[in-house]
Amino acid sequence: MSGKLSHDLFSLWFQAPVVIAMRCQNWTANLAAGTAWTNPELHRMISEKAAAATESALAMNRALLRDGITSFQRYWLGGQSIAAKGTRPYAKRVRANAKRLSRKPR
């Protein structure tokens, strides 16, 4: 497994549950305050998921087109380059969210 892919997979495995927990805490506080549906974190989460899915699909398609059939064979034979390209957008956002959500509110 390549270094970048293993780093991204580890950050997804470790930080995604932390981000989910911090968002649940945020939503609970907003629900108690009666502002759950106007919570900007809810809208941000949805738009980030859509952007990450699009970015991931585009990165994987670019890798397939750039590397041609070699990439396709590598993908089906267990290679990591396509998987790494598809995982990177999600891992990048999870790390950024974990950092942003862990800061104390001002």
Q: Which residue has the higher pLDDT, 2 or 66?
A: 66
Residue 74: the pLDDT is: 65
Write down the residue that tokens 């059939």 correspond to. 69
Q: Is the dihedral of CA 16, 18, 21, 22 positive or negative?
A: negative
Q: Is the pLDDT of residue 92 over 60?
A: yes
pLDDT confidence band for 32 (50 / 70 / 90): confident
pLDDT tens per residue, range 37-74? 777 888 888 888 888 889 888 888 887 777 776 666 66
The two structure tokens encoding residue 53: 């899915």
Say whether pTM exceeds 0.85: no
Contact between residue 75 and residue 82 where contact means Cβ atoms under 8 Å apart? yes
How much of the chain, in percent, has pLDDT values that exceed 90? Answer: 0
The secondary structure of 47-104 as a DSSP string is HHHHHHHHHHHHHHHHHHHHHTHHHHHHHHTT-SHHHHHHHHHHHHHHHHHHHHHHSP
pLDDT confidence band for 35 (50 / 70 / 90): confident
Residue 76: the pLDDT is: 63
Residue 80: the pLDDT is: 58
Q: Is the pLDDT of residue 1 over 60?
A: no
Q: How far apart are CA 91 and CA 72, in angstroms?
A: 23
